Every structure is written in C-alpha cells, then in structure tokens.
A = this chain, B = another copy of it.
Amino acid sequence: MADAIRVLAMDGVEKAKSGHPGMPMGMADVATVLFSKFLKFDASRPDWADRDRFILSAGHGSMLIYALLHLTGYKAATKEELSNFRQWGSKTAGHPEYGHMPGVETTTGPLGQGLANAVGFAMAERHLAARFGDELVDHRTWVVAGDGCLMEGISQEAITLAGRYRLNKLTVLWDDNEITIDGKVSLSDATDQKGRFKAAGWAVKAIDGHDMGQIKSALKWAVKQDKPTLIACRTRIGKGAATMEGSHKTHGAALGAAEIAATRLGLNWTHDPFELPTEIETAWRKVGRRGAKARKAWEARLKASPLVADFTRAMKGELPSNAFEALDAGIAELVEARPAQATRAASGAALAKVFHAIPEMVGGSADLTGSNNTLVPDTVTLDAPDYAGRYVNWGIREHGMAAAMNGMALHGGVIPYGGTFMVFSDYNRPSIRLAALMGVRVIHVLTHDSIGVGEDGPTHQPVEHLAALRAIPNLLVFRPADTVEAFECWRLALESRGAPSAMALSRQKTDAVRVEAANENLSARGAYVLKAASAPAKATLFATGTEVPIALKARDTLEAEGVPTRVVSVPCFALFERQSAKYQAEVIGRGTARVAVEAGVRQGWERFIGEDGGFVGMTGFGASAPAEVLYEKFGITAEAVVAAVKARL
C-alpha cells in the first residue's frame, strides 16, 4: 500500500517535470500506518468537524497528501487531478493550498509554518472541547515535518508553546532523513532534536520509519501521552528509488524516465502511471471509509446535543445575531463623549464591547498585554488543564502566535486576535502573508504604530510598516483615527470572513475626530470625507490615525486664510479600492491641491495625492525622543501641511 504512494508521487512529479518526490517516498510507510490505523477521518466527509487534522508541514512533499487523498477516495482527488499536478487550474498545486483540495487543512511550503499552525489547531481543539464537551470535540492533530521545519526559528516558538500548554493531542512525525537540499543535514546542523523537544516539554520516541511494527507501536504510544509527542522517524529520502534512494537529488526534481522504470521494476510495480492494482485500490478505499461509523455516531451526538445550534454556528464562522449590539450602541455614545485617548485604548474599548458577545473570540498578546490593550476585563486565561479560558499568553513569540492564530482560524470555531508592537509585524510577516493567501479571519492588533512610540527609538518605531502591510494582497490594514473609527474597524475586521486584518494603533493619546453621527459605518468606505470644505474645495487633505487631527488643524488654518479645504480620513486603503469609481473620484478630488499626512513613508500615497501631491511624513527611520519632539523635528505638523498646500495652490 505504501508503494502506491511512492509510485503516484514519482509519476506525478515526472508528469509535471517539477516537484519533490523524495519526501513522499520516504514517508510513505509512516503515512500508510497513520492513515490506515490511527487518523480519524472519513474520506466522504472532509468537513467533518471532529476529524483528526493532518498537517503536511513539509509542504514541498505535496504529492504525499494528494496521493493519500486519492487513494482513500476523496471525491475531489481524482486521477485527472493527480496527473495535472502543478498545472494551471488544477487542485493539486505545487504546495498544498488551503481551499483548493478538500483534505488539505492549511497552506504549507514556507517551512515551519505547518508545524506552528498545528499548535493553533491543537489549542483550538482543546478549547472547543472545554466549551462543547468531549462528545463533540475530541480529535488529534498530526504533523509531518522535515528537517527544514525544525531548523526554522518558528519551530522553536511552536514547540515551546505546545510544551507549555501541554497539547497532548498533537503529534509531530519528523521525517528524520538526514538530508537537506544542499546535502547532509550535518553540513549545517548538529542539533540533538530529541533533546531539544524534551527540553520544550515533549515526549519523544525514535523509530525506524520503514518498520511498520515500530511505526504502529510509536503511534499507539503517542496517543497515550500527557504531553505533545515527537516521533523521530528515521527514513531514507526517495525510499524505493532504484539508484537514487537516500540522495538529496530525489528532494526537488523529477527522477527521470530511466530511474522510474528501474524503480517500478524494483517495486515489482507493473501498472501504468496513475493506474492502481485493484486489490491495493480496494484496500485504500476501505481505509477511506474506516471513520464513517464514528462520524455517523458523532453526527447523532451533535443532533442530540443542546449545543447543536451554537456549535454549528461557531464552526461555520457565523457571528451571533447580537454580536454588534453593544458596539453599535457604543458608537452613538462616542460621538457625544468624544474621548481623547490612544487608539490602542480605543481598540481595547471596542474589544470590551464585542468580546463577551462573540464567544468564539480568543485573544492574546506576545507578552505586551498591557501595552496592546488586548485583555478584556473578566477574561479567564486559556491554560492547561482547563482550556476554557479565552486569553492566551503567547510569550515573546510573535511569529509562533501569528501562525498558531492561523491554525485556530483554520480549525474553525475560534476567531483569534493577537497583539504585538507594530514594528514586530516584521517578525510574523510570513504568517500574516499566509493568512492573506488562505483568506482566513485572524486579527492582528498592532499597537505603537509610528514615531509616536517616542523614546524607545527607531528599532521600535514603524516607518515603512504601513506601506509594507498594505502591499500584501487580501490583507485589510486598518488605521483608525479615534474611538469611533476603532469601533467601526473592529466590526469590519470581525465581519471579514475571507481576509485577515491588521489594526495599526497608536501608543499616544489623540483627539476624537468623529464628532457627528453617521448613518453608516464610514470606515467601510476605506476613505471618506470627514470634514467638508466651507465652499467649493481648493484643497484636499488626506490622513490616517493620529495624523487626522493634524490635518484638521491644518484645515482650520487654511479655511481661516480663505482656502476652502476638505479633510479625508483613510482608515483602510484596501476597502477604498472596493468602492465605485464614482465614489473614489469624489473622495480623491482632482483639481484640488492634494496633500497627505501620515507618520510613515510616502510609498502608496500617490493613489490619493497623484504625482504632484504633497506628502508630509517620514523619509527615513525615526529617533529616540519624546513623541511630541519627534513630530516637531521630523516636521509632521499642521504648519507643514499648510505649507505643502500653499506650495500647490
């Protein structure tokens, strides 16, 4: 049965003349035992909520999962799909892509990400088990990881999280083949991985990854542990290949016709590419049906449960009908109250309005809870052994946090948000990108969003981060100007089921700018006229976040000097792009002197101000001094905005 995986992997890659046969061939035995004896799944129902999750962290070995899905009878994993591996429009992308092929739980390829996602999957499972009970939620997360996954730094953040939270339903099957792309692992690494995992609080076992008996007893052992488990599977890369077995040459290229023919001979495999012997096909299909009975029993339990409606809603990712009642009521009050506060505090206030109304929300921070304003009063911490809490102390692990948040969102039933300083969005950028690529709802709370950080200096002051985040497709970057906008943006982020969000929030206090009631969520427009000109406008000022008050102040001066001036608040570039051309043109106001002010780099602002527009912002890194000194010294002032307008009139 394992040879079927080997041959499919070899043939799929050969047909595409592109791909990675070595890993699937090496891990075929382990995967066969896992799928045929341990993994809880039903190939006919890839969406069964209580299925075990299988995460191929070593995503380049995608033919392993495609072969398994095909063999076990996933409807979408047809022979045609396999033979169209890596081609335009196929579900069998070069790396496993979430949303393309049912059975692929997450997009992997960037190494270490799948492993770190898996921590989120396993955490979500324990949390939901605490919420809904073991009879509805009781499944495991299995990860296949390679040496690359374990060498990446993110793996350390992931495994120490799993150890700390005693995620005993998480098992990593390490493809310990001693090979990387450049050659032997020993070329670049001498780590005692088993010792390392033990130090992180894992139970560890090492086996021969080609000995079916050893694999079986190791998996049996794993499910009994009270800690996360690592099984080091010593394998031969490209196992079965006639002459290339064990060589790094099998890692990332087709084996070639001659090698494949010789390998077929060696495996005694007489069938054509993508054809299977009947008895092997039958055996694998049976594996695919193994879980049907358990799935049906679970469905009956769900139907009989008093929690069926809530569970179903949560897993679908739908919000409670009253999710935004308190938030919307809050907006009306804010327009009157006009609080001057940092937008991070505004974000905290928004959270307080929605967190208890949306039980799927699970928050956290990378050790900056007080600074990020991510902890809602009366929230219990998620911890072992009671995972019912809804706040995660992620530790100083921005990257691990972001990747685990992706896993939580992908698992379903959880809407994760997590905080860190905005400058450290560089640390978790690879996971933010994957969230955008997969289109999952995770919310990044990025406080300390400009030189307004002050004394901590340039290492802690984002300058290019707004531009860099806006450059990521399908990421909603919000920069609210005050508490009303913060409330609106939080609503938009929570409603955004197909895209992650990043909230840029200030450390420093800022005035309220939305002082009139609106009959819609204005931030949903991406950009809108916050304050009209007193007469046909001669100037338009664009601003975001804490720079909106600067624009308003500049407007006062200009209006007093007889220059009718509009102020446009731009809380979200991406949402503005979704508006009609007519609306966009109205907001942009060509023919007026256009100036934007944002305490970041100019890149991207020409969309609003055109080629000749003025930009008041940063041209380099910040500095260490009190925030108000920095705004003055870097010239981000109402006076500078006024001067830029005048230069253009």
- Min CB distance A382 to B, Å, is 11
**A177-235 residues at the B interface, CB under 8 angstroms:** 180-182, 187-196, 198-201
> Is the CB–CB distance between B625 and A148 below 8 Å?
no
Name the contact of A455 in the complex, choosing from B19, B181, B611 (C-beta under 8 A): B19
Q: Report the Cα distance A463→B454, complex, angstroms.
A: 33
Q: Report the Cα distance A454→B93, complex, angstroms.
A: 11
> Is the CB–CB distance between B464 and A467 below 8 Å?
no
A164-B190, A603-B471, A606-B607 known; A182 and B369 CB under 8 Å?
yes
Name the contact of A604 in the complex, choosing from B187, B427, B604 (C-beta under 8 A): B604
> Is the CB–CB distance between B180 and A396 below 8 Å?
yes
> Is the CB–CB distance between A154 and B153 below 8 Å?
yes
Name the contact of A155 in the complex, choosing from B153, B395, B610 (C-beta under 8 A): B153
Q: A87 at the A/B interface (Cβ < 8 Å)?
A: yes
Q: A500 at the A/B interface (Cβ < 8 Å)?
A: no
- Min CB distance A235 to B, Å, is 18
- Min CB distance A256 to B, Å, is 17
Q: Which residues of chain B are within 8 angstroms of A429 by Cβ–Cβ distance? A: 426, 429
Q: A152 at the A/B interface (Cβ < 8 Å)?
A: yes
Q: Which residues of chain B are within 8 angstroms of A88 by Cβ–Cβ distance? A: 623-626, 629-630, 633
Q: Which residues of chain B are within 8 angstroms of A152 by Cβ–Cβ distance? A: 153, 157, 396-398, 427
Name the contact of A437 in the complex, choosing from B163, B180, B458, B467 (C-beta under 8 A): B458
> Is the CB–CB distance between A182 and B623 below 8 Å?
no
Q: Report the Cα distance A629→B89, complex, angstroms.
A: 11
* Interface 1/0 per residue, A365-396 and B, CB below 8 Å: 10111110000000000000000000001111
> Is the CB–CB distance between B625 and A153 below 8 Å?
no
- Min CB distance A511 to B, Å, is 23
Q: Report the Cα distance A93→B457, complex, angstroms.
A: 7
A95-B459, A153-B154, A153-B399 known; A473 and B603 CB under 8 Å?
no
> Is the CB–CB distance between B456 and A95 below 8 Å?
yes
> Is the CB–CB distance between A95 and B460 below 8 Å?
yes
A153-B154, A191-B160 known; A460 and B109 CB under 8 Å?
yes
Smallest Cβ-Cβ distance to A400: which chain B residue: B153
- Min CB distance A21 to B, Å, is 13
Smallest Cβ-Cβ distance to A456: which chain B residue: B94
Name the residue among A89, A182, A429, A630 with the largest chain B CB count within 10 angstroms. Answer: A182
Q: Which residues of A contact B (CB under 8 A)?
A: 16, 18-19, 59-60, 86-90, 93-95, 97, 107-111, 147-148, 151-157, 160, 163-164, 180-182, 187-196, 198-201, 365, 367-371, 393-400, 423-424, 426-427, 429-430, 433-434, 436-437, 454-460, 463-464, 467-468, 470-474, 601, 603-604, 606-607, 610-611, 618-621, 623-626, 629-630, 633
Question: Given A95-B456, A467-B468, 14 other A-B contacts at CB below 8 A?
Answer: A93-B457, A94-B455, A109-B456, A110-B459, A148-B396, A153-B400, A188-B396, A191-B201, A426-B429, A464-B472, A471-B601, A473-B621, A474-B620, A611-B611
A-B contact pairs, 28 of them (CB 8 A): A16-B455, A88-B623, A93-B458, A94-B456, A94-B457, A95-B460, A109-B459, A152-B397, A152-B398, A153-B154, A153-B155, A153-B400, A181-B367, A181-B368, A181-B371, A182-B370, A187-B393, A188-B397, A191-B200, A191-B201, A195-B199, A196-B196, A426-B430, A426-B433, A467-B467, A473-B620, A607-B611, A610-B610
